[in-house]
Amino acid sequence: MEEQQPKTGKFALNYGLLLGLISVVFGVMLYTQKMHYETNAAVVVISIVILAAIIFVAVNAFKKANGGYLTISEALKVGVGVALVGAIITLLYQFVLTNFIEPDFMDKAMELAKPKAMAQNPNMTEEQWEQGVEMQKGFAWIQYPVILIMNTVLGLILGLITGLILKKSKAEY
């Protein structure tokens, strides 16, 4: 009787849900501190560290469930799956935040960005600024597929790195 091999999808879903939950909690924390308008380096680094830690834990759990063996392709599947599920949950939270919890999110974000943009481009008129804001509002939906793709690529890279670290092949005999 052959041993039942664990499914990468189960691990990707479970740990992706965990990643999504942690990301939403982090997002709510930023919201309560009024830091959700800024995209500073510290927030990005913390988000990537959370993603890397969850992917590492997920791939390691898969390896343990697989009798201590792991191939790079399995690590890639788990890593991308975790990142994808986590990104979907995070984007759902972002959608709810910007459309229901705080419908004027885009206006406030643009107002906060205005002084910096005007300082960088002193020749910009108020009319040009308003045109740019309206154009950005029209293309705000593009952030969702871009974030999804970026998170998936990060999951691929982190899954590959984790797979290379934890890889252990079964004996050929």
Instruction: Say which residue, 74 or 135, is predicted with more confidence.
Output: 74
pLDDT tier, 99 (very low <50, low <70, confident <90, very high otherwise):
very high
CB 23 within 8 A of CB 44: no
pLDDT tier, 46 (very low <50, low <70, confident <90, very high otherwise):
very high
Q: What angle do CA 106, 109, 113 make, to 5 degrees?
A: 135
Query: Residue 144 and residue 90: Cα distance in Å, rounded?
Result: 10
Q: Output the pTM of the full model.
A: 0.90
Q: Which of 61-65, 67-71, 117-121, 164-168 has the lowest mean pLDDT?
A: 117-121
Residue 1 in this model has a pLDDT that exceeds 50: no
pLDDT of residue 3: 64
pLDDT of residue 28: 96
Q: Tokens representing 77? A: 């599947």
Please state, rounded to an integer, the average pLDDT across all residues of the chain: 92
Q: Which of 15-19, 101-105, 133-137 has the lowest mean pLDDT?
A: 133-137
Query: Mean pLDDT over residues 146-167, rounded?
Result: 97
pLDDT of residue 120: 84
Tokens 């788990």 -> residue: 78
Dihedral pair phi/psi, residue 91, rounded to 5°: -70, -35
Instruction: Say which residue, 128 or 166, is predicted with more confidence.
Output: 166
Specify the length of the chain in residues. 173
**159 strand-pairing partners:** none
Instruction: Say which residue, 169 or 75, is predicted with more confidence.
Output: 75
Dihedral pair phi/psi, residue 7, rounded to 5°: -95, 135
Query: Residue 41 and residue 94: Cα distance in Å, rounded?
Result: 19
In this predicted model, what pLDDT tens digit does every residue of 59-91 receive, in sequence order?
A: 999 999 999 999 999 999 999 999 999 999 999
Query: Mean pLDDT over residues 136-165, rounded?
Result: 94
